[in-house]
Chain A
């Protein structure tokens, strides 16, 4: 655009207060778009924004040089996969013209549309997309604090914690007891704890067959419950025990010194203890004011714009998007839809409702997997299940679907990580 046009536009702004000119004018310079968080939601959002708005300045703020994927990390814990197969860099994003900023976002000022970084720098934005993932509620479980995670790994953010849990299982003697504490829903990856139990049992069955695994669960029921229960019965018989909320299974206190988990009526001692902590949206969500009293982020389902702070969009695990689950598939999917809606807003087009989908695969052994799918509409600004669609793998698997789904899961991982990280 020529200088004279710019000047003309500027004079127009002065003349036409109250008309829609300012928004049009703003869209004609290169938009500043900032994405916080380089996981499945954030990295996807950055790539799609850059693709849809090539002239926009897109920055991705992420403190880590590498991203370690939570999907498939249960295979690492059980010794079936190497962590390096789960580790991704942001080089492809840089090559595409996305500015990858290696820093932590420490504050978001919605009024001045500025993100403050741990480096002290400030990043201005026209629109902000936050994909902050989860943080742990250290105050929510007695005895559980940051220093405990070495003795009782969470392994709920993949990386060194994943390896630590794997090593502890390896070091455990045959005949040992593995405890998994499951926090109250909602939490990241609803079927994750039960896939983890399955794959740890798979490892124990082969390497330490006299051992036992107990799930102490704060919830009365869980994702894909009939399928997991059947798989445990078939493959691991009495090795896996699940104690739900109605049997007072929920852990109320942890004691790292004695390696014990307390429930309302029992105390269980474990040789390896995996405490999956109670969760809420990533810390920056609380600071930016986009999380509500539940700790999670309410969004408009059409645009993913925060219901609490205009101009900020939130995607992924941090959002309140039920019935969409907190999954990598959902985060990637929401990021793509969000990027389209942000590009529409910057182009003066109204966001449009659409249809979204999700599938989560879970391994029940090294060679078999089950899945749950859903299809959702965003019409009235809330997510709704499309009736008649979605659901679990059939319980009666006469066609060998579980073996095919184990392979589909590998191909899904390959496709989604390539789309997210390049």
Chain B
């Protein structure tokens, strides 16, 4: 009996602990999904704000650009062999898939 009740308490505790942690995770937007603040795309996107800012003066503000606009420009930087700017040189370090994820994350939501 004693063993069973201990086991019951343990499962209850585990359940509560699990739900408590997932509640915290939800509160803080924690998930593995690409667009979550702690997801893999968020970590990629933090490279952008050092130059492109979050509003205000920047090297080309991305404000108001759609995901498609951002993707098209980024891809053009990546493709152009003649381009010598810093963005040309950096764009070559990103895959098309990464560029799509970044553009989706930063693009103006319709």
Chain A residues at the B interface, C-beta cutoff of 8 Å: 1, 5, 8-9, 11-12, 15-16, 19, 21, 24-25, 27-28, 48, 51-55, 329, 332-333, 336-337, 340-341, 343-344, 347-349, 352, 354-357, 359, 361, 371, 373-375, 386, 388-391, 393-394, 397, 399, 401, 404-405, 408, 411-412, 414-416, 418-419
Contacts and interface: CB of A to CB of B under 8 A. Distances in A.
A389 B59 contact: no
B86 A343 contact: no
A347 to B, nearest CB: 4
A12 B17 CA distance: 8
Interface string B1-33: 000001001101110111011001101101010
Contacts of B14: 12, 16, 19, 21
Nearest to B30: A347
26 contacts: A1-B20, A15-B6, A16-B10, A21-B17, A25-B20, A27-B24, A51-B37, A333-B47, A341-B43, A343-B30, A347-B38, A352-B40, A355-B44, A386-B93, A389-B90, A390-B92, A405-B86, A411-B59, A412-B59, A415-B49, A415-B50, A415-B51, A415-B52, A415-B53, A415-B57, A418-B53
B53 A344 contact: no
B75 interface: no
* Top 9 closest pairs, chain A to chain B, by CB: A375-B93, A389-B93, A12-B13, A415-B53, A336-B46, A386-B93, A394-B84, A354-B43, A414-B57
Contacts of B6: 15
For chain B, which range describes its interface: under 10, 10 to 19, 20 to 34, or 35 or more residues?
Answer: 35 or more
A24 B56 CA distance: 39
A52 B44 CA distance: 15
B25 to A, nearest CB: 6
Given A25-B20, A355-B94, A373-B89, 20 more contacts: A8-B12, A9-B20, A24-B20, A24-B21, A28-B24, A52-B28, A336-B49, A352-B40, A354-B40, A356-B47, A357-B90, A359-B86, A390-B89, A393-B84, A393-B86, A404-B85, A411-B51, A414-B53, A415-B49, A415-B51
Interface string B69-103: 00000000000000011100111111000100000
A15 B58 contact: no
B12 A414 contact: no
Contacts of B92: 375, 388-390
Contacts of B44: 354-355
A333 B50 contact: yes
Contacts of B93: 355, 357, 374-375, 386, 388-390
Nearest to A53: B28
Contact of A401 (B46, B50, B85): B85
B28 A401 contact: no
Given A332-B50, A343-B38, A414-B58, A9 B17 contact: yes
A25 B14 CA distance: 10
B60 to A, nearest CB: 8
A194 to B, nearest CB: 18
A355 B18 CA distance: 32
A303 to B, nearest CB: 11
Contacts of B52: 415
B94 A375 contact: yes
B94 A415 contact: no
Contact of B84 (A15, A361, A399): A399
Contacts of A349: 30, 32, 38
Contacts of B84: 393-394, 397, 399, 401
A419 B49 contact: yes
A55 B16 CA distance: 20
Nearest to A9: B17
A155 to B, nearest CB: 24
A8 B13 contact: yes
A356 B47 CA distance: 6
A380 B10 CA distance: 38
Nearest to B10: A15
Given A54-B28, A388-B93, A390-B93, A11 B53 contact: no
